Structure 1
Amino acid sequence: MTFLTIAIFFVLSFFGSVQPDSISLDYCYQQAYEHYPTAKNVELQKKITELNVHIANTGYFPDITINGQATYQSEVTEIGLSGGGGLPSISKDQYEGSVDVTQTIFNGGAVEIQKELERAKGEQQMHATEVNLQQIRSQIDQVYFGILLSQQQAKTINLLIENLEEQLSAVRSQVENGVLLPSQQHILKAELISARQDSIDNHSNIKAGYEVLSEIIGEEIIPKAKLVLPKEQPGYQSLHPQRAELNLFESRRQTLEQQRKLVRTKQMPSLAAFGTAAYGRPGLNFLNDDFHDYYIAGVKVRWNVWDFFNADREQQILKIEQQKIDHEQRAFQRQLNASLDRISEHIGSIKENMKRDREIIELRQQVVKESASQLKNGVITATEYVMELTRANQARLSLYINRVRLSQAKVEYLTTLGIPADGIR
């Protein structure tokens, strides 16, 4: 490997690991699903399911058992003849090593049904894991928008600081010229110090938010990384739910269906061929006391009467389990619809508040502009000016916050549906 090749490799490795300048909500979802410990259970469950299917598939293979025994008995059968003599005696110590083979010929397709049952169980476990990941997504939403709200508040605080610094500079010259009292300058200084303290606290909250988000998604996000406000999703309220719970309900039904099929095989007789090959003494001919090999082969039918009658009861149990799943899904659907209705009302309320915020901001800006002129001319005090400036900034902050909350409410609606925030464009 040449020096140039090594250099190119390290350059590509460096740039490939650089974090994007802006972070989207879907990016956080993706990183959490890839790195969150619980998410790895999905791949582990796939491996477990694959192994269980292989185990079930061995039902097609013959059942092979190796046996061995050595015994000693206190007496054996002896056959004597009148006039003396008799058959050869049988040894009291007996030995046998054997191999038993049983090959199922017919069992109602139980093996293939068992394989499908294992697959259905695996799907059920994976969907259960996805349900848990749904909660992680809600946590990401809260932290993500918490950071955005704090950042909007930071912008408002910075604007307040700029206004106070501008007015403090103007008032300082007025005080030096004897037009205003020094107390007016002190009031503005105190408000400026308070605003800077709020800025420090707000910055600390933002930093803590980035740390929490980094911990959840398993990747360090630097505070300089910009969090992107999710784009407007047209027609989101007409989408159908794609929640993992719905998939879980369906996978549970599939599991019950395979269990019903497996129960039906119990009502059918099973047919198998068997054989035993052995070596020892005595063999099947107990009069032959020499070590020798022997075998036995045949066909057997098995039909358990109690399995036949209990199968109906097991079918009834599975039907009841099906009814329980139906009830649980209807209850879930009701809760889902109630949550969607609540969020829709919240979205409408935020939109109305934003309209009022814009009207208030326009009025407050005019008042602040007039107050600044009055403060310079000594008509009002610095306290009065600060009050008007604070009200204007509160109105502006309210609009910023409602804008973020509107986006948050729409994302919450999509999260409740189980749809990615940027999944439709």
Structure 2
Amino acid sequence: MITVTAVIISLISVSVAGSAQPDSISLEYCYRLADERYPTAKNIELQKKITELNVDIAHTGYFPDVTVNGQATYQSEVTEIGLPGGGGPPSVSQDQYEASVDVTQTIFNGGAAGIRKEVEQAKGRQHMYATKVELHRIRSQIDQVYFGILLSRQQAKTIGLLIDNLREQHSTVRSQVENGVLLPSQQHILKAELIAARQDSADNESNIRAGYRVLSQIIGEEIDRDTRLELPEVSSDYPALHPQRAELDLFESRRESLEKQKALVRTKRMPSLAAFGTAAYGRPGLNFLNDDFHDYYIAGLKVRWNVWDFFNADRQHQVLQIEQQKIDQEQRAFRRQLDASLDRISERIASIKENMKRDRKIIELRAQVVEESASQLKNGVITATEYVTELTRSNQARLLLYINRVRLSQAKSEYLTTLGIGLQEQVN
């Protein structure tokens, strides 16, 4: 039989398991969270709603214009018709009243209403792509923070190794000082280096904690110090990739918006045809000799053609064409900068790969030197200062290899980010 206590324990276990943080996270995971949770990302959905409302507003251009009017006036004098010998129709009242409804329905205006809807849709897409451009900058920030943490954690491993070696040598030298084999100064040198290494470790740990806090703020999820950041596995088949930057879509949407505006301008060259009607109640009506309250109406067709709109349409069309030319120039400049950035990153990737080959060879040589130096220090052949120098050089070589591994992954990820391609979209 299941007890209440067992049920409670089960519920608590499920709750803890559901809220537990992952042991490790990837760079792609950070990208996805930023796209979903960063405040700017919400502007995409907000812009969709704005566009829908603006399209609905533009759609009312198909509907008739309806205006309700009302007025009451008093005239100091009215028209009077007098006949010879007196008599004639009664005079019109000096107080006059009218309540009316005016209706105008556009029959033809060159399709302006439909084009206005397309203009609003194009503007909406333009705003959404502008938001995606901003989110791309956020990805660049994630790259910097993410790989900054990885570099600091690699440095922490190297510093830890240095501290362990210094502690071991300090213990050995201390026993030799106590036996009178070495001078006390040798022990003091190692102790000072050990204190400095621990200080470097504390500073590095502070940088790691700060990096996790910044990354948590960007992606909108709390990440603690124990969460491991996975080093991205990035392909090197770059020639097969093509730029997919949001800026390129933004340029295209701007051109599309200008094309829609040009189509709207063309409608100004055409006359518009509309039907109109007025239904009213008051006195006097259309027959000013009838001074009784009564209803009346008027209906008809009207054509409107603005001469200045016709001539200004050409100028407005030229302005929009020039705007399109400006966009073309901006896109050329962007592509030139993009190509330059990709070339620069490619050169950095090649350089890092060559440096890593040298690092591995240097590490092998430095390890042999440190091993020999440790033996010489025990036998009193070299001083502790000389040993620390060789040990530091060896650890620097290891650190440089670790750093270059992270830098290589960072450079490859930066290449993809510059292309506007996610890590999952790369060519494997």
Give TM class, smaller chain: over 0.9
C-alpha displacement of 1:144: 1.1
C-alpha displacement of 1:8: 7.3
C-alpha displacement of 1:188: 1.8
Does the aligned pair in 1 maintain the 2:76–2:94 contact within 8 Å?
Answer: yes
Aligned to 1:41: 43
- Mean Cα deviation higher: 34-43 or 61-70: 34-43
Q: 1:296 corresponds to which letter in structure 2?
A: I
1:385 to 384, 387, 393: 387
TM-score normalised by the chain length of structure 2: 0.95
Aligned to 1:354: 356
Q: 1:51 corresponds to which letter in structure 2?
A: L
Aligned pairs (5 A) from 1:22-421:
22-421=24-423
1:338-376, Cα deviation, whole Å (9 max, x unpaired): 111111111111111111111110000001111111111
Structure 1 residues 309 and 408, CA, compared in 2 at 3 Å: closer, same or farther? same
1:38-97, Cα deviation, whole Å (9 max, x unpaired): 222111111111100000011111110000001111111111111221101110110000
**Alpha-carbon distance in 2 for matches of 1:220, 1:206:** 14
Q: 1:49 corresponds to which letter in structure 2?
A: T
Q: What number of residue pairs does the alignment pair up?
A: 424
**Alpha-carbon distance in 1 for matches of 2:43, 2:397:** 48
Does the aligned pair in 2 maintain the 1:231–1:422 contact within 8 Å?
Answer: no
**Alpha-carbon distance in 1 for matches of 2:293, 2:394:** 108
**Alpha-carbon distance in 1 for matches of 2:138, 2:52:** 27
**Alpha-carbon distance in 2 for matches of 1:6, 1:312:** 77
TM-score normalised by the chain length of structure 1: 0.95
C-alpha displacement of 1:11: 5.8
C-alpha displacement of 1:12: 5.2
Does the aligned pair in 2 maintain the 1:279–1:291 contact within 8 Å?
Answer: yes
Secondary structure of 1:266 counterpart: helix
- Mean Cα deviation higher: 63-72 or 78-87: 78-87
Q: 2:21 corresponds to which letter in structure 1?
A: Q
Does the aligned pair in 2 maintain the 1:230–1:422 contact within 8 Å?
Answer: no
C-alpha displacement of 1:14: 4.6
C-alpha displacement of 1:225: 0.7
Structure 1 residues 57 and 357, CA, compared in 2 at 3 Å: closer, same or farther? same
**Alpha-carbon distance in 2 for matches of 1:326, 1:270:** 35
Secondary structure of 1:196 counterpart: helix
Q: 2:241 corresponds to which letter in structure 1?
A: L
Structure 1 residues 356 and 4, CA, compared in 2 at 3 Å: closer, same or farther? same
- Mean Cα deviation higher: 258-267 or 26-35: 26-35
**Alpha-carbon distance in 2 for matches of 1:234, 1:56:** 49
1:365-411, Cα deviation, whole Å (9 max, x unpaired): 00111111111122212111111100000111111111111111111
Secondary structure of 2:88 counterpart: coil
**Alpha-carbon distance in 2 for matches of 1:7, 1:370:** 59
**Alpha-carbon distance in 1 for matches of 2:7, 2:66:** 58
1:221-275, Cα deviation, whole Å (9 max, x unpaired): 1111111111122413431111111111000001001001111111122111111
C-alpha displacement of 1:171: 2.6
**Alpha-carbon distance in 1 for matches of 2:34, 2:6:** 36
**Alpha-carbon distance in 1 for matches of 2:370, 2:25:** 36
Secondary structure of 1:223 counterpart: coil
C-alpha displacement of 1:133: 1.8
C-alpha displacement of 1:219: 2.0
Structure 1 residues 250 and 260, CA, compared in 2 at 3 Å: closer, same or farther? same
**Alpha-carbon distance in 2 for matches of 1:327, 1:390:** 53
C-alpha displacement of 1:288: 0.7
Identity of matched residues, %:
78
RMSD: 1.9
Structure 1, gaps ≥5 residues long: none
Secondary structure of 2:80 counterpart: coil
C-alpha displacement of 1:4: 9.6
**Alpha-carbon distance in 2 for matches of 1:257, 1:108:** 16
- Mean Cα deviation higher: 5-14 or 151-160: 5-14
Structure 1 residues 77 and 13, CA, compared in 2 at 3 Å: closer, same or farther? farther
Does the aligned pair in 2 maintain the 1:102–1:273 contact within 8 Å?
Answer: yes
Q: 1:274 corresponds to which letter in structure 2?
A: F
Does the aligned pair in 2 maintain the 1:271–1:299 contact within 8 Å?
Answer: yes
Structure 2, gaps ≥5 residues long: none
Q: 1:67 corresponds to which letter in structure 2?
A: N
C-alpha displacement of 1:214: 1.5
